[in-house]
Amino acid sequence: MARCVSSHCSSSSTLSFNNATNLPRTSLLPSRPTAISESLTHPKTHLRLQFQLKSSNGYPPNAVSLQDGLAGNSASNDRFVETKTGQVPISQSENVESTLSITVVGASGDLAKKKIFPALFALYYEDWLPEHFQIFGYARSKMTDEELRNLISRTLTFELIKSLKMARCVSSHCSSSSTLSFNNATNLPRTSLLPSRPTAISESLTHPKTHLRLQFQLKSSNGYPPNAVFLQDGLAGNSASNDRFVETKTGQVPISQSENVESTLSITVVGASGDLAKKKIFPALFALYYEDWLPEHFQIFGYARSKMTDEELRNLISRTLTCRIDKSENCGDKMERFLQRCFYHSGLYDSEENFGELDQKLKEKEIGRQPNRLFYLSIPPNIFVDVVRCASRRASSENGWTRVIVEKPFGRDAQSSGELTRCLKQYLTEDQIFRIDHYLGKELVENLSVLRFSNLVFEPLWCRNYIRNVQLIFSEDFGTEGRGGYFDNYGIIRDIMQNHLLQILALFAMETPVTLDGEDIRNEKVKVLRSMRPVKLENVVVGQYKGHSKGGKSYPAYRDDPTVPKGSITPTFAAAALFIDNARWDGVPFLMKAGKALHTRRAEIRVQFRHVPGNLYSRNFGTDLDKATNELVLRVQPDEAIYLKINNKVPGLGMRLDRSDLNLLYKSRYPIEIPDAYERLLLDAIEGERRLFIRSDELDAAWALFTPVLRELEEKNISPELYPYGSRGPVGAHYLAANHNVRWGDLSGEDS
């Protein structure tokens, strides 16, 4: 126990944890075994040799596999080991011995006493522990090292040996000071220590439409109804569950006694003066209110730098609110009532003081109820972290949940995205971050899994044996009008492909999830994304629109946009071929195409099936068998539809074949207005349903696919092929498809 030196366990350990990643330093070390092997010092290595040969990572399990740290790092040749004589490259450090520190978090608890310390002692007694080790107990309880030893010694069985070997536990090392330092060091939000069970307070009590989503609730990702109030979501909650309070009109009431305390929801739209807020977020919130999806008690705050009164905000947003065409009765009244719940606070994005003022205003509206807070970051990405810092420190809910919806872009590449995630996680837990990709909220994208997994006719065909290629197509019939400044820094691959189209691809191609749980679905998406090959430059075509005149009207070039730098080579169009290296999709090209200023506005998924082997009717199709291929089209927008192209006999006495569609056109089948994607996603965020939001590992996997090619395009200054505004895009896209034996389905001229 002389190894348990106080300076290791106290403030210095804090420092090493705190630095940048908040992870133990080992996590930054390489994921291959180093020359330093514990086998040199481990008395029992030979006994485990057989197992070593079979260990899952291919390396001996008790070699000092530094990848066993919390988050391994893949680079391997520039790392060092600290020795008494300074830093030594790992490769030259055969003689540097390792030491193992085991920290039992919750050391005062039952499991620790009954099982963990006795197990450690047994390992030690049997000489399985390495020569150099120390054990720390960590808990909230105040205890000296000696007290810890007394506590655990009661459960150790080998009395005699125990007294000899316990001498290793030298005083002052596992003391309360080490407890404190670890506490600071981890930087884990206190809430992460909270139990993940729902409390008695459930929003379902006040949610008028809960029953309608009930079926889905049963499957919600965390195993609890998504609109149960999860107190662990609080930004800075309190770790013990029995000492939390709710403010009521009559004072503080412990949560355990507060079943009757209703919750209230505060939604803050940060960047309320902006384009997205006006166009999408406020209208979506109104639509939810109009359809009775919002809880009974709620208030909406706009927050931005612009100076505005509440009344001015109401005027601003009222211009974009619309009533459902199918239920326009009392719309004016409802709009007025909705607007009365909207307020505005002007403040800077990096001012904790201004967010403190917002907090005061929120509290005034929330009084008497348990507050839950949702922040929507509808602002440029360079101020995401400032806002999250200020909001988390000064405006998060004290005894309800706090969640933050983050708009894209999530970085420009793998590195900047990782950095953004790391910064956000200084203030938020992953569970509180709702990274929005609004394509996941679109009706047809949501339906993709239903189509696949609840229809026997599709799932068996969903593989390389039957599917020849899959096409994911996005086109807009307008340019970057007004958003050129933002767009030029990103380009179409980052704006559409790496997120919207890739998300659809992942949903399309993933394996069957274990359940419809958000986590299960996202696990499958990550798996399929990680099975994909990074996109290669030879499989990419880029284009940019140029000015064009048609019918006496002239359309500007991308470079005519005053916010776009002169001579910009940012692509406004791209086509790419992607591949999934797994058993289901081996060899099937997934073609993506995305462009602005094209001839039409459309987003669709097209699945082209293989030719019918030995087709009896092949002579009816002539030599072009592609014309007879079955194609399943999911038209995401406009005019949502699912149709299957089939070959059919033209009625009559002869034998003439015809291409026809089995067509499910939504507006014919479902005479209702389809909710906007933002409505669905806002409601999910309010209910704590994460299924349609991007998890950080999904994001990492997505960036890993596109970052190399994006870098290459930039480094090589690849010029985009120019295409006229309003055209079908660059010809290069056809060659790319042809290289993979594909024809773009949207250009076949068969669709209406």
Under the binding rule (CB under 6 A), the answer on residue 304 touching ligand NDP is yes
274 binds, among ligand NDP, ligand LXAUTJHC, none (CB under 5 to 8 A by kind): ligand NDP
495 binds, among ligand LXAUTJHC, ligand NDP, none (CB under 5 to 8 A by kind): ligand LXAUTJHC
Nearest residue to ligand NDP, scored by beta-carbon proximity: 274
Residue 705: how many other CB atoms lie within 10 Å: 21
Dump the DSSP string for 303-351.
Answer: EESS---HHHHHHHHHTT----GGG-TTHHHHHHHHHHTEEEEE--TT-
732 binds, among ligand LXAUTJHC, ligand NDP, none (CB under 5 to 8 A by kind): none
Nearest residue to ligand LXAUTJHC, scored by beta-carbon proximity: 495
Binders of ligand NDP in range 693-712 (CB under 6 A): none
Instruction: Name which of 127 and 481 has its Cβ closer to ligand LXAUTJHC.
Output: 481
Assess contact for 573 and 544: CB atoms under 8 A: yes
571 binds, among ligand NDP, ligand LXAUTJHC, none (CB under 5 to 8 A by kind): none
Q: Which of 237, 224, 222 is nearest to 690 (CA)?
A: 222
Cis amide prior to 61 (ω within 30 degrees): no
Name which position in 495, 679, 684, 689 contacts ligand LXAUTJHC (CB under 6 A).
Answer: 495
431 binds, among ligand LXAUTJHC, ligand NDP, none (CB under 5 to 8 A by kind): none
Binders of ligand NDP in range 391-410 (CB under 6 A): 407-409
Give the shortest CB-275-to-ligand LXAUTJHC separation in angstroms: 11
Under the binding rule (CB under 6 A), the answer on residue 561 touching ligand LXAUTJHC is no
Instruction: Name which of 182 and 303 has its Cβ closer to ligand NDP.
Output: 303
Amino acid making up residue 454: S
Give the shortest CB-505-to-ligand NDP separation in angstroms: 19
Query: What are the Cα distances from residue 662, in Å, to 630, 634, 646, 649, 704?
Result: 11, 12, 7, 14, 38
Give the shortest CB-444-to-ligand NDP separation in angstroms: 18
Active site residue 297: no
Dump the DSSP string for 415-477.
Answer: HHHHHHHHHHTTTS-GGGEEEE-GGGGSHHHHHHHHHHHS-TTTGGG-STTTEEEEEEEEE-S
The two structure tokens encoding residue 592: 């993506």
Q: Which of 528, 476, 482 is nearest to 505 (CA)?
A: 528
Instruction: Name which of 362 and 497 has its Cβ closer to ligand LXAUTJHC.
Output: 497
Assess contact for 646 and 661: CB atoms under 8 A: yes
Alpha-carbon gap, residue 500 to 437, rounded angstroms: 7
8 binds, among ligand NDP, ligand LXAUTJHC, none (CB under 5 to 8 A by kind): none
Under the binding rule (CB under 6 A), the answer on residue 145 touching ligand LXAUTJHC is no
Interface with ligand LXAUTJHC (CB under 6 A), residue total 4
Instruction: Name which of 42 and 494 has its Cβ closer to ligand NDP.
Output: 494
Assess contact for 200 and 229: CB atoms under 8 A: no
Interface with ligand NDP (CB under 6 A), residue total 19
Tokens 């905000």 sit at which residue?
313
Assess contact for 268 and 374: CB atoms under 8 A: yes
Name which position in 130, 381, 513, 729 contacts ligand NDP (CB under 6 A).
Answer: 381
Give the shortest CB-305-to-ligand NDP separation in angstroms: 3
Amino acid making up residue 374: L
Give the shortest CB-275-to-ligand NDP separation in angstroms: 4
Under the binding rule (CB under 6 A), the answer on residue 679 touching ligand LXAUTJHC is no
Give the shortest CB-384-to-ligand NDP separation in angstroms: 8
Under the binding rule (CB under 6 A), the answer on residue 271 touching ligand NDP is yes
Instruction: Name which of 66 and 472 has its Cβ closer to ligand LXAUTJHC.
Output: 472
Q: What are phi and psi of 651, to 5 degrees?
A: -60, 140
- Write out the E strands in 562-702: 573-578, 590-595, 602-609, 631-637, 641-649, 657-665, 693-694
Question: Mask 419-448, x = binds ligand LXAUTJHC (CB under 6 A)?
Answer: -------------------x----------
Give the shortest CB-257-to-ligand NDP separation in angstroms: 42
The catalytically annotated residue of 42, 500, 548, 611 is: 500
The two structure tokens encoding residue 604: 């669709």
Under the binding rule (CB under 6 A), the answer on residue 275 touching ligand NDP is yes
Under the binding rule (CB under 6 A), the answer on residue 640 touching ligand LXAUTJHC is no
Alpha-carbon gap, residue 150 to 244, rounded angstroms: 33
Q: In what order do the strands lie in the sheet with 590-595?
A: 657-665, 641-649, 631-637, 602-609, 467-475, 590-595, 573-578, 540-546, 721-724
Q: Which of 529, 475, 523, 470 is nearest to 499 (CA)?
A: 529
Under the binding rule (CB under 6 A), the answer on residue 416 touching ligand NDP is no
* 6: exposed, middle or buried (Cβ count in 10 Å: 0-12, 13-18, 19+): middle
Q: Which residues sit at the interface with ligand LXAUTJHC, rule CB under 6 A?
A: 438, 476, 495, 603
Enzyme catalytic residues: 500
Q: Which residues sit at the interface with ligand NDP, rule CB under 6 A?
A: 271, 273-277, 304-306, 349, 378-381, 383, 407-409, 486
